[in-house]
Amino acid sequence: MTLAPAHLHGQAVWSDTQLLYALEEVVETELNRHLKVAKEWMPHEYVPWSDGRNFDGVMGGEAWAPDQSKVSEVGRIALVVNLLTEDNLPSYHHEIATLFGRDGAWGTWVHRWTAEEGRHGIVMRDYLLTSRAVDPVQLERFRMDHMSEGFESDNQHSMLHTVAYVAFQELATRISHRNTGHHSGDPVCDRMLARIATDENLHMIFYRNLLAKAFELAPDQTMCAVRDVVVNFRMPGHGMPGFERAAAQIAIGGIYNLRIHHDDVLQPVLRFLKVLQIGGLGPEGLKAQEELGLYMGGLDDQATKFDERREALLARRRARAERA
């Protein structure tokens, strides 16, 4: 097997296998950096166990009621979405282990990432149930429905597309967790989600740095992958029950919306990698770069219109509350 890429119209064309081998050394470097900076933490330390008590059912405790929750309404909605997203970890692991492999630095990273993500689901569920933040029956039914559907990535056809996607998605998840904590109204929840967000940021840095090396090796292919991912981006939890309604409420609540997606997720990664300034591209790369720039401009316009509609809606709600 040769590691040298094929050439088409003077441009290097890498297969997934060639890129996996070519990026192995970078993966090892980034893995070692990650292990040095990642801090050990214990999920049980972030859970208010003394607030817990039995639920109704076989333990004969008290049934859940909304007034038992310390978090805001939009906080409850976002917490359910965030946890259900984490719950699908077995499917995510299968996806990336299939694409990246289980051997060498790639395999070590895949398993380490899975272990760290597993902690997020553990601490979130323990917090939600112990503090009675959300309806436990609804949460479990949603979990069963969501996990029974599984998860199929939009980018499973390409290793490059997957790396590009997770570079943005890990940052999107960090922002979503952090903003959920800020809007939750519960300092305990805010502290717990801040700890999770720190992990997600480290995951983003790993994939972002990997994407930077991919641009050096295969600039045209990587540019096309980034264009495709940005234009067609969807959060991994898009298939969960009631996602569209929940996403709308989360957007209006200021946790995650078009403005946040443009300003706090897409722009930082694109700016760090200088994606729209990269030179020396072939025809396909130049086309993708131009289309990406046009899309970002259009998304900014859409975000501005959304901001205006959101502010008008919130103003009407405030007026109704004052009259009441």
Residue 157 pLDDT: 85
How confident is the model at residue 5, as a pLDDT?
61
Contact between residue 74 and residue 250 where contact means Cβ atoms under 8 Å apart: yes
Helix (H, G, I), strand (E, B) or coil at 99: helix
Q: Cβ(289)–Cβ(276) under 8 Å?
A: yes
Residue type, 38: A
Amino acid (one-letter) located at 215 = F
Helix, coil or strand: residue 231: helix
Name the 3-class secondary structure at 254.
Answer: coil
Which ranges constitute the DSSP H helices of 185-282?
187-217, 219-231, 243-252, 258-260, 267-273
Indicate the residue type of 308: E
**What single DSSP character describes residue 156?**
T
Evaluated on CA atoms 153, 159, 160, 165, the torsion sign reads positive
Please report, in tens digits, the pLDDT of each residue of the chain (324 residues total).
335 565 544 456 888 889 999 999 999 999 999 999 999 999 999 999 999 999 999 999 999 999 999 999 999 999 999 999 999 888 888 888 888 988 899 999 999 999 999 999 999 999 999 999 999 999 999 999 988 887 777 887 889 999 999 999 999 999 999 999 999 999 999 999 999 999 999 999 999 999 999 999 999 999 999 999 999 998 887 888 888 999 999 999 999 999 999 999 999 999 999 999 999 999 999 999 999 999 999 999 999 999 999 999 999 988 888 887
Residue 240, SS3?
coil
SS3 122: helix
Nearest one of 189, 194, 178, 198 to 254, comparing CA atoms: 178
pLDDT at position 88 is 87
Pairing of strands 11-13, 6-8: antiparallel
Distance separating alpha carbons of residues 232 and 153, to the nearest angstrom: 12
